[in-house]
Every structure is written in C-alpha cells, then in structure tokens.
Amino acid sequence: MDQASALATLAPRRRPRRRPWARIGRRTIVYALLIAGGLLMMGPFLWMMATSLKTRAEVFGSPPLSLPSGAHWENYARMWDALPFSTFFFNSVKLALLNTAGQLVSSSMAAFAFATLQFRFKGPLFGILLATLIIPFQVVLVPNFILYRILPHPLSSSGNWINTHEPLWVGAWLGGAFGTFLLRQFFLTIPRELADAARVDGANPLRIFWHVYLPLARPALATLAIFTFMWTWNDLIDPLIYLRDTELQTVTVGLSLFKGQFVGKWPEMMAGALVSLLPMIVLFVIAQKHFVRGITLSGLKG
C-alpha cells in the first residue's frame, strides 16, 4: 500500500502484481501496528469510560484500567441532574455551530485573498494576522473584557456585551489567524492554471472562489470545522469570564464545577466529559470521510 492508495482506489489500478502472501503479510503488520498504536492513544479514553461507571471509592482504590464492580449508570444520572445540562448542551451546540460557520466563511475568504490575489500590504497584513496568535491569551483577557464591556448591546440588560453569548461567537465571523493560514496553505497548492482557465472563461474572483477553490479545499475546510467546533466546545475560560447567568453557561463550564476546590467528583466528572465528547466524536467520524473522498482533482481535467 502506498501513500496515494486512497486516490488510487478511485482510479483503475496500475500497480505491478506482487506475490499475494507478501501483501497479506504486509497488510497484517500494518493493521497490527495501527491498532496497537490506536489502543495506546485510546488509553485515557478507556480510563474515562471505566471511571464513569465506577463508584467513588473504586476510582482510586483499584488499578486505573480495571473494570468497574458493576455498571454504575447512576453516575450519569447524577451528573445530568446536578446542573441544568440540557440547557448547557443547547448553548454549547449553538456557540460551536456559530463559531464553525463563522470561521469557515470569514477565514476562507481571507485565505483566498492571501493565496490568489495581488494587493498592497499583503505581506504586512498577513504578518499582523499571525501576530495575533503569538500574544498569550492570559494577558489579553482583561483588555478584551473591557472592550466587550464598552461595546453597546441593544438586548442585554446591562446594555453591554457582558453576560451575553455575543463575545463568544461574533469574533469568529471576523476572521482568524489559524483558519486563514490553514486554508491559505491549501489554496496555494491548487494549480493556478485552474483559476486562470476560469478567468479566461470570464469568471470573477467570487465565482472562482466558490466554484474552484472551495470545492477543492474540502479536506481543509473539514479540518477547520473540526478544530473550530472542538475549541469552542472545550473553551472554559471565555464563557466563564463573560457569562454570569447559569442558563447561559456551556457544558464545559458545567463540568468544571465537579472539580471541587479540594476533592473532585471523578465518576460524575468523567461521565459528563464522555457525554460532552460525543458530539465531537460524531463530527469527526463524519468529517474524516472528507479526508478520503471529496478531492478528485483528476475530475477537473474534463
């Protein structure tokens, strides 16, 4: 199997035939290695599953990867009932979707400009964008907070953006260094001739963006979507800083409360963490298909 196999399977195979036993042996080794590595990566996840079903006394009283004495599903019920988690889930999904959509739209637009168009200050502008990644968020926290306290908000009771969801997603629609940089890199690998051909046909940049670049960058868009969704979902500090009302909080903030000042409630915490992982695992299983399908540049030849 070579690196291009994913693509090769889509096209007629031209590989020289090899002796079948060698292939089977090879395949077995690859499988074994990948699965062994996969299990290694899954260790903490398996621990979370086991812990979520243990009693509190069992969590540390038995070896980490031991099975629980019985399936203590009540941990899940206790977790779910301890706080208004259905509300938290709704908030988290809403914020994650808004952020993901915003990043996909605004970053892909900016990336297209940086990758394909000529304009003044291109280099410096990209540098400034990248610089926003370099300042640690811990020091920008207070200035950001002040900014959102000054911005007027028509619907909030305080009149500013504090204690609303807006500080947690509006920024995603106004670009972002990670997404722009990621997509720029992918756009740059797309052969320029494709765009030139479209231009000759009279397509304007918006059409080229929409009909040439976006379809071809599907793997990169899927990647950005996964990351944005995940980062929004797992963000603890921003919801915590900007939100006050319990009914506005997110799953991640809710889960952090099980940590306790002195002692953690591990089974509930891990039950909650697992439930909160589900959306991301589902998303990943769906999105990872785009790493295989989707891109058949050869189709463009026609």
Partner 1 sequence: MTVGPARARRRTGPLASEARWAWFFLAPTILGLVLLSAGPILATLAISLTSWDLLQAPRLVGLQNFVDLLGDDRFLHALRNTVFYTVTSVPLGLALALGLALALNRTIRGIAWIRTAYFLPVVTSTVAISLVWAWIYSPEQGILNQVLGLFGVPAQRWISDPFWAMPAIVVMAVWQGLGTNVIIFLAGLQAIPEEYYDAAQVDGAGRWGRFRHVTLPMLTPSIFFTGILSLIGSFQVFDQVYVLARPGRPTEATTTVVYFIYENGFRNFKMGYASAASWVLFMIVALLTALYFRSQSRWVHYG
Partner 2 sequence: MTRSTARLGALRRVAGIAALPVILAFVAAGCGQAATTIEYSIWGDPAELASQQAIVDAFHEANPSITVKVTVSDWDTYWDKLQTGLAGGAAPDVFAMDGPLFPDFQSRGVLLDLKSYVEKDKYDLTQLADQGVKDFTTADGGQYGLPRDLNVIVLYYNKAMFDEAGVAYPDDTWDWAKLVEAAHKLTLDKDGDGTTDQWGLYTETTDMENYWSSLVWQNGGDIIAPDGKSTLLGSEEAVGGLQFLQDLIWKEKVVPEPALFAETGDAFEQGQAAMEANGSWLVPTLEAAGIELGIAPLPQGPAGRATSVNPTGAVVYKDSKNPDAAWLFVKYLASPAAQEKLMALKASLPVSKEVLAGPYAASFDGAQVFADSLAYAHLKPSFLGYNEFTAILQEELDTNVFNEPKKTARDAIDTVLAELNALLAGQ
Q: Which of residues 151-170 bind partner 2 (CB under 8 A)?
A: 157-158, 160, 162
24-63 footprint of partner 2 as x/- string (CB under 8 A): --------------------------------xx--xx--
Single residue of 259, 282, 286, 298 touching partner 2 by CB under 8 A? 259
Size of residue set near partner 1 by CB under 8 A: 126
Say whether residue 140 binds partner 2 (CB under 8 A): no
Q: Which of the choices partner 1, partner 2, none does residue 237 contact, using the CB cut-off of 5 to 8 A by kind? A: partner 2
Pick out residues in 92-151 that bind partner 1 (CB under 8 A): 105-107, 109-110, 112-113, 117-120, 122, 125, 127-136, 138-140, 142-144, 146-147
Residue 52 has a CB neighbour count (10 Å cut-off) of: 25
Q: Which is nearer to partner 2, 60 or 73 (CB)?
A: 60
Say whether residue 168 binds partner 1 (CB under 8 A): no
What is the full DSSP assignment across the chain?
--TTHHHHTTS---PPP--HHHHHHHHHHHHHHHHHHHHHHHHHHHHHHHHHTS-HHHHHHS-TTPPPSS--THHHHHHHHHTTHHHHHHHHHHHHHHHHHHHHHHHHHHHHHHHH---TTHHHHHHHHHHHHHS-HHHHHHHHHHHHHHSB-SSSTTSBSTTSSGGGTGGGGS--HHHHHHHHHHHHHS-HHHHHHHHHTT--HHHHIIIIIHHHTHHHHHHHHHHHHHHHHH--HHHHHH--SGGG--HHHHHHGGG-SS---HHHHHHHHHHHHHHHHHHHHHHGGGGTSS--GGGGG-
59-98 footprint of partner 2 as x/- string (CB under 8 A): -xx-------------------xxxx--x-----------
Least Cβ distance, residue 228 to partner 1 (angstroms): 13
Pick out residues in 217-276 that bind partner 1 (CB under 8 A): 217, 219-220, 222-223, 226-227, 230, 234, 255, 259, 269-270, 273
Pick out residues in 49-78 that bind partner 1 (CB under 8 A): 51, 63-64
Q: Which of the choices partner 2, partner 1, none does residue 71 contact, using the CB cut-off of 5 to 8 A by kind? A: none
